[in-house]
Amino acid sequence: MLLLVDLDGVVYRGAQPVPGVAALLVARAEAGDEVVYVTNNSMWDRADYVTRLSGMGAPVDPDRIISSARATALYLRDLQPPVRRVLVVGGAGLVNELVDAGIEVVLSGDAAERWSANGRDAAAAVGHVDAVVVGLDLEFTYARLACAAEAVRAGARFVATNRDPIYPHEKGLMPGAGSIVAAIEAASGVTPVSIGKPGPLLLEIAAHAVGKEASDAVMIGDSLVTDVPAAVAVGARSVLMLTGISTRKQVEALAASDRPTEIAADAAELAVALDRLAGGG
């Protein structure tokens, strides 16, 4: 089977591994399953995830880590006409993935400095770009907003890594990439293409990375807002892990068509669920 595995809330919670999941994924990979990690997080590149996952004992291959940053880079790389130069509102992980895909990057921070120093001329500060790519930017400012919005209004493609309005942090809920995307959307009047879950693109790109179709996958996630709807969007089966942000009671409140195929409270229940799905149950 192709297993598309969410990270935070499934493989780990913050800095702590979810007990038993890494070992289960190793066993599934040794039995012939394809394990591909998918996450809406755009802050880190694949090297960061390799270090983290290998340290937890999970099976890991850089080409099978498809964050929203990586998926965005692959999406842009394969577009026609080609995308050669982009303005990035986002973190180092997003920049690294775009550069790795052969795309020239204009940093929004550099553009914002030129905007401030040269009479607030956003068009001159940015120059020509084929796309504006937006992820989570911890240093987002009015100047970066002005430059991004002007580039979009000038005709650049507007691509969001994801539209998550918030993301959970050890100290509470923090503004997510979607908050920044919404600001640029409001200022430009243009709705972006969004790569991340709950839309289909992240799962489709992840499946294609290993020569598979997303409809044949099993999505393993902890969110009824992103993971399960993404599985529904591509026609895939899903396992909802109760090790993250969702509860069984929330599942019971959903229409049957919106529910996960299986529910697992821990790694042991996940193993049983995957055996059942592998057997066609």
CB 46 within 8 A of CB 208: no
Burial of 210 by CB count in 10 Å (0-12 exposed, 13-18 middle, 19+ buried)?
middle
Beta strand 12-13 pairing with 16-17:
antiparallel
- Distance (Å) of CA 74 to CA 37, 38, 136, 281: 15, 14, 18, 34
| Cis peptide leading into residue 81 (ω within 30°) | yes
Residue 63 annotated among the catalytic residues of the structure: no
CB 43 within 8 A of CB 135: yes
**How many angstroms from the chain centroid is the CA of residue 220?**
14
Instruction: Spot the catalytic one: 6, 130, 137, 227.
Output: 6
The edge-to-edge listing of strands for the beta sheet with 85-89 is 104-107, 85-89, 131-134, 157-160, 193-194
Residue 6 annotated among the catalytic residues of the structure: yes
Instruction: Spot the catalytic one: 8, 164, 222, 227.
Output: 8
CB 64 within 8 A of CB 25: no
Tell me the C-alpha distance between 53 and 61, whole Å: 10
Beta strand 34-39 pairing with 65-67:
parallel
Question: Smallest Cα–Cα separation from 224: which of 17, 9, 4, 1?
Answer: 9
- Catalytic residue positions, numbered: 6, 8
